[in-house]
A and B are shown apart, each in its own frame.
Chain A
């Protein structure tokens, strides 16, 4: 399942629903990304995306994960729009018979959606706002897959 939305969501509730839908999968891994104030003074974040391409790109990344690992299901929820510090940005969850598959697939999803799904983050402070630069490590992280 892929969801791209402006609305806040409850990661605990989403994980429960996901888990109930994959009865029989003994291993469930989830990751939740939260807006954090790295430097101090951050008042929030604005996330822009490319409607249409975002869903396609996430669908393709999820599809590849489903092929490469033995998964019962994989889910990605990602928000866009204005978010305050402490708000949940996104989550991924994977379900498998095997722990290793669930962990690896979740990491793969995270690595790919960071630099292959069309989202752009802008940090908003009292002094103004600035686009978050991509990091070389994020691009390099793709090499291990």
Chain B
């Protein structure tokens, strides 16, 4: 039997020896930057690759292909591992012409030299006026380039169980202070009832709340990123939720979108949901028995500041190596501004459009049966116009989000405060940018 042990030992030593031999390879030299993109139409038929994660997008693409025999689009669903797939394709030099990229991942991918600037195409620059303002400032990085076209957004609002509110004599909160007062009353009336839940593992959601309070965490100027995650505005939001947690007014044991979360709502344990436009179908589809009990109202505001926040949403980016920019711009513009395409994407994929005209789609101006036939999309459309256009994401957002989540989870478990999580996120932002050799400094 000791032979088995010896054999394993030999295999391991052999493997270790092999790694040493291969370690002798040299690292690649810096490559030249891609030359400026031009916008010449191609001759003859063109086929574009388009990667996305939107359910039902194949039908939208089929419609385009039927109408445009010379610009054919092949799509691939990459929802299994969106950024892993895109990142690997980039490394292999095999990126598609167009790919779906979330707003918060745009700076990170641009830092990896993932995009081409389509601003040489007049159709691309002309599209600016067709989109909700904040979305365009994200896809142009606040400059004149066009690296992506906005597709959908997640303007935030407050989902309210009107029956629970009525039963407990609560009024719809207009400010966060009123919301906290409602939370207090609700807890007094029934200790098993919470106004909402705080998911410490959901940095995207928390970032939406920071966005609402004009906490501009990143700014790019003088050839440097200015990292200001720990601003007074962020701290105000952090302290607010810390107090709700300390007073046991919000649940901290539910993960967003989990079966457990729906179970808590199903059992009438939670009275509101601070959510985005795309959440409307989540509740409709997962909690069918609560039809007619929900209403959607504007986000509570921070005093006189009437701003709203955004949570999620995506763009369709022009990827590096794109040799058919002219055709890509044509398809991308149609995909994200044409009423027929937008209506399909809304119906099949639940997308809430980034195009201003899209907000007036017939499907988005009708009452929704689940929500008492209320015109809930009017609330989201209004929210959409009140989102800070100067807000920018950082170039290492994923790493920062993880650091924020880990520290928020500690705070929710009673170790530290949410403001400590902001410090952790600030430190993680500076360190990860240093690791990627991205010039950065702390402060405004």
- The answer to whether A and B interact is no
